[in-house]
Structure 1
Amino acid sequence: MPRPRVREETPLPIRDGVAPSYLWLPEGQWPNMLAFLVERYPAVSEASWRERMAKGEVVDNDGKPLTPESRYRRGMRIFYYRELEQAETPIPFEEEILFQDDHLVVVDKPHFLPMIPSGRFLHETLLVRLRKKLGIEDLTPIHRLDRETAGVVIFSSNIASRGRYQSMFQKRVVQKEYEALAPRLEGVEFPFTYRSRMVDGDKFFVMKEEPGEPNSETVIDVIEHRPDGNTLYRLWPHTGRQHQLRLHLASLGIPIINDAFYPVALPCKQDDVSSPLKLLARAISFADPLTDEIRRFESRRTL
């Protein structure tokens, strides 16, 4: 019989697949809660905050509704529902569930679909879609893929076992295999290992390399050379730095096809989904920490 799932309690329930957001109030002086919220979130109007408060949708850690005149107290935690000022554009690609049991949900994510609510995405995210589809409020990703990357990603559906699965990624005992389509690299013998020191770039959303002790490592091999001059590569990241595969291939002079960040960050394409990044999380494998069974899950997508 399936083990019952217990949802992590918050003062506000999950609503239409979206969990409430929370914020620890920082150091500062504001005459009341409304003044703080209007300054903290300039994209949200004062009228919107007043409406949310009137509906009891902004509360403290104990679930007590906050009003516009509520006193601001540093260190207090507040909960609220995140809302978008403009309607989301539907993302016209569907995820596929590859596996599900009492502990895990393994999903084949399409390109362009964000993992979790962020920025201008709320309902058009993998997490919210899955919560609505499966009715599992406690669903949580235990690792991430970029919005632009497609492929296998794993969610935990059971709080009791979540830590065991999360620790696999922290201990780097999970084997990840990617595929990337990029220009042909000449003058090297495959497979080979590329290492570099990655640090935050000059723009907040990109990374860069600098001299020093390497902190990132990728094994690169060839799957096939294609007639158009591009090559399908197999990549095994031995570390998990943000944008690691994208930066490594760009640094080798073979940026991944349709990469809008590397080697040069291009203007945001907004809702243009015509040119997906040619990067796929092909497979993931590990020894299950509960049973010691070797598990392997593979994407059904192709580049």
Structure 2
Amino acid sequence: MIPVLYEDEHLIVVVKPDQVLSVPGKGPDKQNCLGRRVRNQSHPTARIVHRLDYATSGVMVMALTAQAHAAMSQLFQQRQVSKRYQAIISGHPTEDAGIIEQPLRCDWERRPLQIVDPVDGKSACTHWQVMERLAQATRVALTPVTGRSHQLRVHMQWLGHPIAGDAFYADEAALALADRLLLHAEHIAFTHPITGEPIAISSPAPF
């Protein structure tokens, strides 16, 4: 069952498990995505508004009407949706907080991987803050200002502290720290595009 944290006649907010696609992929083995699960489970009109990576878990908003889908999509395009993630990264950053502004683009020879490219990359900004220092790792809060593909994962790699369990970007030591990507979308906040009410939904990290 996909947990539903919030619902009204326009929107629902659910928790995506890790190792689940947000939308269908290519091939018959990639059709059992979050959208299909939610539609089959309880909300037959639910439509995806934004995505999380296959390996990432956490809160996602889905629209129940065409009007809500268009309005919610516009909020994301205008960066009027606040998101916060929790991650465990390899090692210990020297600082307790920082801002990473490193442009990103697709690494075409290794798609879907992304790379930092100061010349041809698109602007990308991530705020990070230490929450807890562990024996071999650090728990951090990550707040993306932009929403580039794999942004948080590449920015943590660029910082020198890849996210634990990241099969795409972690070095051997970071990959060995966990059997899944330790990245969870823990909080989302926005003004309801139909009712105008403030919405803030949280889901604790499962790690």
Q: Same fold (TM over 0.5)?
A: yes
Query: How many Å separate the matches in 2 of 1:240 and 1:160?
Result: 23
Query: How many Å separate the matches in 1 of 2:122 and 2:91?
Result: 25
Query: How many Å separate the matches in 2 of 1:191 and 1:135?
Result: 40
Trace 1:1-303 onto structure 2 (pairs within 5 A): 94-119=1-26, 120-122=29-31, 124-136=32-44, 138-188=45-95, 190-201=96-107, 202-212=109-119, 215-226=123-134, 228-263=135-170, 275-303=179-207
1:80 corresponding residue in structure 2 = none
2:30 counterpart SS class: coil
Deviations 1:92-141 (A, max 9, x none): xx42111111011110111101112113311x2111111111141x3211
Query: How many Å separate the matches in 1 of 2:183 and 2:61?
Result: 17
Shift, 1:185, TM fit: 3.1
Deviations 1:208-236 (A, max 9, x none): 0122376000000011112x221100000
1:151 counterpart SS class: strand
**Equivalent residues of 2:17, 2:58 under 8 A apart:** yes
2:70 counterpart SS class: helix
Query: How many Å separate the matches in 2 of 1:113 and 1:186?
Result: 30
Higher relative contact order (CA 8 A, sep 6+): 2
Comparing both structures, which one devotes a greater share of its residues to strand?
2
Shift, 1:160, TM fit: 2.4
Q: Which runs of 5+ in 2 are unaligned?
A: 172-177
Query: How many Å separate the matches in 2 of 1:263 and 1:229?
Result: 14
1:163 counterpart SS class: helix
Count the aligned residue pairs.
198
Aligned Cα RMSD in Å? 1.8
Q: TM-score, normalised by structure 1?
A: 0.62
2:37 counterpart SS class: helix
Q: TM-score, normalised by structure 2?
A: 0.89
Q: Which runs of 5+ in 1 are unaligned?
A: 1-93, 265-273
